[in-house]
Amino acid sequence: MDQIKMVDLLVQHNQIREEIDSAIKAVIDSSAFIKGKPVQAFEENLARYLGVKHVIGCGNGTDALQIALMALGLEPGDEVLVPAFTYVATAEVIALLHLIPVMYDVNPRTFNTDGCNSFDGIEDLITPKTRAIVPVHLFGQCSDMDAVKAIAEKYNLKIVEDCAQALGSYFRGKKAGTIGDIGCTSFFPTKNLGGMGDGGALFTNDDALAEKIRMIANHGQKVKYHHDIIGCNSRLDTLQAAVLDVKLRHLDEYISARRNAATSYTKHLKGLDPLETHICTPVESNFTTHTYHQYTIIVKDGIQEGNTRDRLKAFLAEKDIPSMIYYPLPLNEQDAFRSIAKKREDFNPDSEDSLHNSEYLAQHVLSLPMHPCLTEDQISYIVDVIKAFCS
Ligand SMILES: Cc1ncc(COP(=O)(O)O)c(C=O)c1O
């Protein structure tokens, strides 16, 4: 059996090596490394895949989120709702633009923005300064965009979807990232659609927003050296676009391979006591498809002393099985955010710990190896090791 990796990009790329090599060669032959033809071709192909009017490439997923908030014209001091359990980038750009991140809790079983005493309390966080909400489609399935849209309509908020981890997922028949005002994604190499370096993109159906996004990503200019608004330098480079365009053709195969791997994990992990008493396998919400960017389990305490998740992680490592903790701290507990992020207790000192699900998850989640080339043998071995740990 080959060595198990969290993500095996070499095996994945070797399967399409000729297609990638010839796409890269064509870019080198043209030597149009910035704004070359593959950029527009990829943007158009991705727009078709997503069923959205505009796709605008940019430097990375973090830039995409920043550019989205800039395009919406938010002012310093405006408040933006964001889940506490997400990758730092989602909230970092809010703070960078001198906006206030206001943190809400996530559903403890789907890790996402949907119900379960968490998102239910979101209205308590809304003030006259609240301008936008950034739902995250964490680990590969969508947040409940009906609930997000209901809140946004009621309070006139803009929606920026962070679908860095869920490209290709559907929410009620629409692709992730195409439901709010702007969708943002990352093409970090390990993502569902990953480049060979950094890359990102924004999606929108709004023509005016699309034009503004293009300008912001290109130094605020429409006409060269005429800078109408403040922007930044954030372009998807031609080599990345060429590679991504090749991989886009295979994205649905990759997603089904991820789903098959997840089904296999769950089949072997479910219904076995004492395993099931301690390990919660991922839950799929009925309004979304799951692309399994991550296969994340919740490990409850109770097997010997201390944190069972941390001990399982160490046990797996002893057997050469990598695993990752996404994420070991909720954002409200990160030093960088402690003094700037707001949560329900800051508006109403009598409220109880409003981010307890996020805090619990940070202590108990564990992501197992997941990529489109994971084999049945590798999954069986990983599950056998988990069973050995639990028994
Ligand atoms: C949920 C989420 N948002 C944003 C980002 C930022 O993307 P990038 O690393 O391309 O800046 C990531 C990627 O790592 C992510 O997982």
Query: Is 303 found in the same domain as 192?
Result: no
Which residues on neighbouring strands pair with residue 366, listed in sequence order? 297
Q: Which residues surround ligand 1 with Cβ inside 6 Å?
A: 60-62, 86-87, 89-90, 136, 162, 164-165, 186, 188, 198, 200
In angstroms, what is the span from residue 232 Cα to ligand 1's centroid? 18
CATH code for position 167: 3.40.640.10
In this structure, what token pair is assigned to residue 324?
């990752």
In angstroms, what is the span from residue 24 Cα to ligand 1's centroid? 25
In angstroms, what is the span from residue 305 Cα to ligand 1's centroid? 35
Query: Is 127 found in the same domain as 163?
Result: yes
Tell me the average pLDDT of the chain: 95
Query: Is 323 found in the same domain as 231?
Result: no
In this predicted structure, the answer to whether residue 117 has a pLDDT above a threshold of 60 is no
In this predicted structure, the answer to whether residue 272 has a pLDDT above a threshold of 90 is no
**Which pLDDT value is given to residue 390?**
87
Among 233, 250, 267, identify where a domain stops. 250
Among 219, 250, 281, identify where a domain stops. 250
Domain count of the chain? 2
CATH code for position 347: 3.90.1150.10
**DSSP state letters, 264-318:** HHHHHHTT-TTHHHHEEPP---TTB-B--S-EEEEE-S-SSSS-HHHHHHHHHHH
Among 250, 278, 305, identify where a domain stops. 250
- The Cβ of residue 159 has, within 10 Å, a number of other Cβ atoms equal to 22
Which residues on neighbouring strands pair with residue 45, listed in sequence order? none
Q: For the segment 298-355, what is each residue's pLDDT rounded down to a tens digit? A: 999 987 788 999 999 999 999 999 999 999 999 999 999 999 999 988 888 888 888 9
Which residues on neighbouring strands pair with residue 223, listed in sequence order? 226
Mutate to test the pocket of ligand 1, among 60, 139, 182, 186 (most ligand atoms within 8 A of CB): 186
Q: What is the DSSP letter of 52?
A: -
Query: Is 220 found in the same domain as 302?
Result: no
CB 341 within 8 A of CB 329: no
Query: Is 212 found in the same domain as 276?
Result: no
Query: Is 240 found in the same domain as 307?
Result: no
Residue 219 lies in domain: 9-250
The CA distances from residue 173 to 9, 47, 146, 255, 256, in Å, are 29, 16, 13, 16, 17
Query: Is 279 found in the same domain as 183?
Result: no
Q: For the segment 358-389, what is each residue's pLDDT rounded down to a tens digit? A: 999 999 999 999 999 999 999 999 999 999 99
pTM of the full structure: 0.97
In this predicted structure, the answer to whether residue 216 has a pLDDT above a threshold of 70 is yes
Q: Indicate which atom in ligand 1 lies nearest the CA of residue 200.
A: 10
**Which pLDDT value is given to residue 122?**
87
Asked if residue 179 is part of any domain, the answer here is yes
Distance CA 280, CA 259 (A): 17
Mutate to test the pocket of ligand 1, among 58, 60, 69, 87 (most ligand atoms within 8 A of CB): 87
What burial class does residue 151 get, using C-beta atoms within 10 Å of its C-beta: 0-12 exposed, 13-18 middle, 19+ buried?
A: buried
CB 161 within 8 A of CB 137: yes
CB 327 within 8 A of CB 355: no
Query: Is 305 found in the same domain as 334?
Result: yes
